[in-house]
A and B are shown apart, each in its own frame.
Chain A
């Protein structure tokens, strides 16, 4: 995927306790700060009023179909990989009313929604998620039309990235070229360091407003040695990816594998539950629902997240275009890894691994890609079968 060049900024050192100052400074500017906290047995994104709400001392253990919170033996605030939520829940809301209409005579009058656009700061955005946001920017704001809901929310967001030091068991951002280090798309990027049990942060500003924000918070210069740790932590994280995915000519691979027998095999396991599309940080599909009151005098149109795994998704008079489970899984994966490239110039996958962790039957897209690569496609027997491990 195309990535803007790495912006080189000087790292400074932010004492751990100053995270609270950062949150307060953002709140003072009118931002609602959204960040990680422990809730419902997972690390989720929610509003933070204090740094004390961060998941200090927690980490996550992830594998196919499994996610568990585990106590760390230190006080790291960002010592986990990723939770089930992605930032799209704020930028591309799951449910949104588009307009209301009222019956008048034999017609109706539509009143457009002018919703209050929340001013949000995201704290704890991973590199893969920065890429996911950039991908949704491309889909929803850079075509012929702009999605006004997404655009208005996106314009306001202040992004504090936190570099990943502990990739999860289902992560593969290294393979997708989307991590583990944040290289663009942030106002501030933090790297958590542990020096003799003291958790401080190395901070780099990515924008002018990031620099301005940094000036409001007490910080120190970082030593040369400390500055080097940012790259070291990233390099070390890159070594600990739970999964790998070979993206070599992946578009061509999928385009010639539409009738690959593997689709039948995966269809036997896939429940078509749509979990993967809900947790995916780039999946953008929606549907609209038209509702009326009982009297039939008022109507509303709602936009809701939708999933290509439902039978209704492709319904045209007479039936679903994708009637089989197999065709729906194929649509999802082929879109994500192949047709997305033709549509938007990059892969639709950032390697966050959420679809693997949150699949109730542990379907693993990296495994599916490998199987499709190895078994040869139906359209061509001679495939490049570069080993992936």
Chain B
């Protein structure tokens, strides 16, 4: 199973240019996962011990609001990365993630990766660089959403 994931991970833009040694370390923490539509990948305040590389389907990142129900703030679909709370203490999810379509993903075990990153700071740095980029993109997108640019200006 791990062997079958290696080429998939090696070709993914998120892990491109990772050294074979580091890629092996990442592959060692990877597993295939599948979620039916409507199932939660994780819930707010649960322990954040993985991140996902979505291969197929679509996942909604939601915030629960008391009277209006869940508000979707972002969707993540094929090719994209979901979740970085596993990287930073207290390793807890801040949002809900729900599959809105049948979804296939590769789950990367966060606990496993954290240990490997502590032991090999080069790997840690490689992963942080990649997550920093994703965070930057999300932050920019969030800023644009906050601007409410399509809203009625008057």
Measuring CB to CB, which residues of chain A are less than 8 angstroms from any residue of chain B?
317-319
A35–B37 CA distance with the chains assembled, in angstroms? 85
A318–B152 CA distance with the chains assembled, in angstroms? 8
A-B contact pairs, 5 of them (CB 8 A): A317-B153, A317-B154, A318-B153, A318-B154, A319-B153
A4 to B: closest C-beta gap in Å: 49
A residues within 8 A CB of B153?
317-319
B residues within 8 A CB of A318?
153-154
Q: Secondary structure of the B side of the interface?
A: loop
A317 to B: closest C-beta gap in Å: 6
Chain B residue nearest to A319 in the complex (CB): B153
A315–B154 CA distance with the chains assembled, in angstroms? 12
A319–B154 CA distance with the chains assembled, in angstroms? 8
A317–B150 CA distance with the chains assembled, in angstroms? 12
A317–B152 CA distance with the chains assembled, in angstroms? 9
Give how many A-B residue pairs fall within 8 Å (CB-CB).
5
A180–B77 CA distance with the chains assembled, in angstroms? 72
A317–B153 CA distance with the chains assembled, in angstroms? 7
A278–B29 CA distance with the chains assembled, in angstroms? 75
A312 to B: closest C-beta gap in Å: 15
A residues within 8 A CB of B154?
317-318
Chain A residue nearest to B151 in the complex (CB): A318
B residues within 8 A CB of A317?
153-154
A378 to B: closest C-beta gap in Å: 25
A318–B153 CA distance with the chains assembled, in angstroms? 5
B149 to A: closest C-beta gap in Å: 11
A127–B99 CA distance with the chains assembled, in angstroms? 77
Interface string of B136-154 (1 = CB under 8 A from A): 0000000000000000011
Closest 5 CB pairs of A and B: A318-B153, A317-B153, A317-B154, A318-B154, A319-B153
B109 to A: closest C-beta gap in Å: 49
B residues within 8 A CB of A319?
153
A317–B154 CA distance with the chains assembled, in angstroms? 7
A337 to B: closest C-beta gap in Å: 33
A319–B153 CA distance with the chains assembled, in angstroms? 8
A311 to B: closest C-beta gap in Å: 15
Chain B residue nearest to A316 in the complex (CB): B153
Interface string of B71-91 (1 = CB under 8 A from A): 000000000000000000000
A318–B154 CA distance with the chains assembled, in angstroms? 5
Chain A residue nearest to B153 in the complex (CB): A318
A319–B152 CA distance with the chains assembled, in angstroms? 12
A204 to B: closest C-beta gap in Å: 59
